[in-house]
Structure formats: C-alpha cells, structure tokens
Amino acid sequence: MVIVSIVTKGRVVGNKTFKRMVAPADETAAASLAIARDYLAYLSAERGASPATASSYASDLEDYAAFLSEERACGIEEAERDDVAAYAADLAVRGYAPASRERRLSAVKGLYRFLVREDIREVDPAADVALPAVGRRLPEALSVEEAMRLLDRTYRADELGVRDRALMEVLYGCGLRIGELVGMDTGDISFDEGFIRVVGKGRVERAVPFGGAARRALATYLEQARPRLAAKSQAAGLAVFLNARGTRLSRQGAYGIVEHSGELAGIGRLHPHTLRHTFATHMLEGGADLRTIQEILGHADIATTQIYMHVSRAHVREEYLAAHPRALKDT
C-alpha cells in the first residue's frame, strides 16, 4: 500500500506552506502529491482557507490518493468516474458516517473542479458522483433565560474577569466565530459608529453592529483591564483580547473561557459556536429578518441562515404547547 502524506506544517501568515512528510514510493504517488499540493496552495492563497481547513482537506486527499494507488492502480490525474464512485462506495464499506463521507467526497470534487479550471483535466470525473444524503442537524441554542444566567454570572474581580465578561458579551452580542473574535485588533472597533470590523471566512470583511451590554463590557475591558495585561508583554501588539501573559489570546484559550463559563453558570460544557447560534436564534425570535442576520453572521448563502427558521418554529411550537390550555388535550 502506498501512502501519500499531504499535510500542512507550520503557519506562515499570508503564505501557507504545504510540505511532504513521507516521500512517495512511485511516480504515480508523486504526481498525486504534486497535484494535491497545488490544490491546497490554491485553497489557501486564493480562497482564504484556514490552516485547519487546509489540513482537513489534506487528510481527505491523502486517503483518496492512497485508495486510488492501492485499489485502482491509478493516480489522481488519471482517475475516471468509476474510480471516484468506487471510492465513495469504499467509504461506506469502511463505516464512515454520512457527514464524514460527504466531507471527503466534497474535497475530491473540489480538487477536480480545480483541475478542470486549470486545464489539467478536460472532464470532471467526480461531477455526477452523488454526495450521501446528510440529515441537517438543527444548531443548539440557549434559551433566553440560560443566556442571561450565563452572562450575568459573577466574574472574578481582576483583569482576567473583566476580559472574560467582555469576551462572553461580544460573542453573544455580535454572533462572532471564535476565530473572528481572537483575530480582532483594537483598530477594528468603532465606538462612535457602533460597529466592529470583522474578517471572516475567505478573508471577507464585514461590519458587525454592537451596543448595550457588549459595548459597555468591551469599553470597560479596553480602558481598565487590557492595559494591565498588555504591560506584561512587549508582544501584545494590537490584539483586543489578551491572555494572562499579555499576548494575543488563542482559539484554545477562548474555548476554555467559554467552557468554564458554561460550567460556572450551571449550563454544562458550552461550545463557543453555541453562542453564535444563540445570537441568531434570539435575533430571529426578536423580529430581525433573515437578510439582516445573514449579513451580520457573514453567511455567503442565505440558505445557511434559513436553518434558524426551523429553530424558531420549534421554539414557537414549544411555547404553544406550554401555554395553550387545550393544546395537549386529546381530541
């Protein structure tokens, strides 16, 4: 079995690098490796893929290249529709869940669209290979009561407590992704206009409104706590959220703050994305239209935002069953 390892190694800002970790054992594997590396470089440089996304795609294409080499005696460039279909069937035989199969096949489909666009292939062999049907899970969201209990909890009295309150208020108040939050710089915040400049997926910029509790908590943090944290390091730079050492807070650090907040509020282990879902759900229930929510969240396709309609309908039905005196009576 020939295994081609295609992974991201290191992170170079503005110029991600993709390095071979295991040398290919034959020319076919080497060609597959080169093609996949070109595609990964394209995803990074032109599509703005994050290191995590590129690494995930690298793993998927490694698996695909290994399957072609072992089971079909061909490489990525030579594969035909039957080879791609055989790989899709093999994923099911190996017991991958529909969502995992969909992700791996999406990576393969994206690769071949790239090869056709670059005139490396004339025909896309994956074009009519169907993706597995994946039931779309409704995003989890906190109730209004849970959100208030989470945000109004008692925080520690030092600068880290002030930071944590601001972080939680901004996540819930603006619906940011965790990467967008930790990537914020002080120059991205306009208190006069009430907007935060956010760089989202694909390096697309958008302006997110903020106010009320999020504005107050953020202002307090920037005026009182951040200067004390920044004084601990010469590497604070322009980062808004700093760690205890005075450098930019990492994604892992932010995850830990959110999880710990959930535990202290009696909600349990809380994921940062749950606050983004909660923001969107509460906005919709409060009367905001889908287009507004789409713009704030930075969704490229409104179909992504429409899933919150299902969440809202579920909430409406729950309220109806709980409130109407005859809703639960047998007919």
Q: Collapsing DSSP states into helix, strand and coil, what is residue 58?
A: helix
Catalytic residue among 177, 226, 277, 282: 177
Q: Which of 271, 109, 132, 300 is nearest to 204 (CA)?
A: 300
273 in catalytic set: yes
Catalytic residue among 16, 215, 276, 282: 276
72 in catalytic set: no
Catalytic residue among 57, 64, 87, 308: 308
109 in catalytic set: no
308 in catalytic set: yes
177 in catalytic set: yes
Residue 309's H or E segment, with its range, is helix 307-323
Please check whether residue 224 is in contact with residue 159, taking contact to mean a CB–CB distance below 8 angstroms: yes
Handedness of CA 281, 285, 291, 295 (dihedral sign): negative
Q: What length is written for the chain?
A: 331
Q: Which of 23, 26, 29, 116 is nearest to 64 (CA)?
A: 29
DSSP state of 306: T
Backbone angles phi, psi at 279, to 5 degrees: -55, -50
172 in catalytic set: no
3-state helix, strand, coil in the chain (%, to 5): 55, 10, 35
Q: How far are the Cα atoms of 58, 148, 180, 243 from residue 270, in angstroms, in the given order? A: 29, 14, 18, 20
Catalytic residue among 72, 81, 113, 201: 201
Strands 189-190 and 18-22: unpaired
- Which residues carry out catalysis? 177, 201, 273, 276, 299, 308
